[in-house]
Amino acid sequence: MPIKTLRFDVEGGKATAGPPIGPSLTPLGMNVLSVVERINELTGEFRGMRVPIKVTVDTETKSFDVEVGIPTVSALIAKEAQVEKGSGEPGKKAVAELSMDQIVKIARLKTPHMRVNSLKAAVKSVLGVCVSMGVNVDGRSPKEVIKEVEKGTYDHLLQG
């Protein structure tokens, strides 16, 4: 079987030849450093976040392809809000604030990977994660913003 597919979660831009990548690729006779360099090149924009990657290796030709997934919604929210993690007391204590434009940006990025049938549904899902992380949106509770999204208040942002 010449084609092998391996999946890893790595920190964006900081993959190393150590576990889990090196031990998985070495038995296949791969140049681990060239694979790691490619992974770091492709995941650099997600620095500081865990990123799912898929490495497809042709064991006969020793060629490889790297596909980069999208980090979790909570990781994207944390990056946009410039916080390490969510609130220990969501609903009582907010740790950050995002704009609705930032919420839509995250939703657009994640929509292809979510089980939703519209951008509006993706936005509501991202807002739900904001609730559990203690991240306010435009100075208001994400629960209030979800109600406004349902009423159509933000439909102008959800076009195209």
By CB atoms closer than 10 A (0-12, 13-18, 19+), residue 90 is middle
Indicate the CATH number for domain 73-158. 1.10.10.250
Q: Please state the length of the chain.
A: 160
> What tens digit of pLDDT does each residue of 111-143 get?
988 999 999 999 999 999 999 999 999 999 999
**Whole-angstrom distance, CA of residue 121 vs CA of residue 62:** 42
15, 40 contact by CB (below 8 A): yes
Q: Which regions of the chain carry the CATH code 1.10.10.250?
A: 73-158
The CATH number of 3-68 is: 3.30.1550.10
Q: Which two tokens stand for residue 114?
A: 């979510």
Beta bridge partners of 50: 11
pTM: 0.78
* Mean pLDDT confidence for 4-13: 94
Higher-confidence residue: 47 or 39? 39
In the structure, what pLDDT confidence band is assigned to residue 2 with cuts at 50, 70 and 90?
confident
Q: Could you give the strand order of the β-sheet that contains 63-68, starting from the edge strand earlier in sequence?
A: 3-11, 50-58, 63-68
Give span(s): CATH 3.30.1550.10, the chain: 3-68
- Phi/psi-derived region of residue 127, left when phi > 0, alpha when psi is between -120 and 50, beta in every other case: alpha
Give the pLDDT score at 34. Answer: 96
What is the bridge-based pairing of β-strands 135-137 and 96-98?
Answer: parallel
Q: Rounded to an integer, what distance in angstroms lies between the CA atom of residue 3 and that of residue 77?
A: 36
